[in-house]
Amino acid sequence: MASSGALWSFALVVGLLTLTPGLDTALVLRTSALGRHRRAWGVVLGVQTGVLVWGTLTSLGVTALLTASQAAYTALRWAGAAYLVWLGARMLIATFRREGAAPAAEAPDRAEADSFTGGWRQGTLTNLLNPKVGAFYVAVLPQFLPEGGGHLAAGVQLTSVHVVFGLMWSAVLIACARALGGVLRTRRARLVLDRLTGGVIAAFGLRLAFVD
């Protein structure tokens, strides 16, 4: 198991990382602001599932092989970039379709229904297809693992700290989005929110593809 000093030090690092706005924050806020609370929690738990998988694989030494293999890393990077650009573009295209339709004619997006499973799948894919998360764990986690054995147990323990922080911060984000739900769910606000979120997600994808 990890020492108390390692736990506190790792908690400080991942705590700051959790508070830094990013792709996960945008997805959670947007989904919750649209009133899809079950889907929002699905996204949250999907993201944390991805974090736990990355931490476990790093503890086993698997992700070190990924970062050591340029071909594998590049393949995952392009897969993640393609997924994010597709996800962002779909949001953007949907807003232009809705803008041209009468309010009463707007149909709900079945692909984004208030489904916990759909949200979990989206959050998990978004996290696991981001090799930057794996690279972070390869660079940071081994520094906090005990010398000798017990790397898997210590790695899962440390990663669980990151997961707990992620859950706590996501709960705050969802609560804030729910408090502003009446304002954010107007037709104009939904268009702006989807365009902003779609643009951010697509930009993340392009950055992942072209900025090594």
Listed by start position, the domains of the chain span 4-98+114-210
- Run of H or E including 58: helix 37-59
Cα 127 to Cα 59, 69, 192, 203, distances in angstroms: 18, 20, 25, 16
Q: What tokens does 82 get? A: 């393609």
State the average pLDDT over residues 147-161: 87
Residue (of 161, 160, 158) closest to 150 by Cα position: 158
Give the Cα separation of 141 and 194 in Å (integer). 35
pLDDT at residue 162, rounded to an integer: 95
pLDDT at residue 101, rounded to an integer: 56
State the average pLDDT over residues 105-134: 79
State the average pLDDT over residues 43-64: 91
The SS3 of residue 158 is helix
Residue 211 clears pLDDT 60, i.e. is over it: yes
Residue 113 clears pLDDT 50, i.e. is over it: yes
State the average pLDDT over residues 182-194: 75
Average pLDDT across the chain, whole number:
84
24 or 164, higher pLDDT: 164
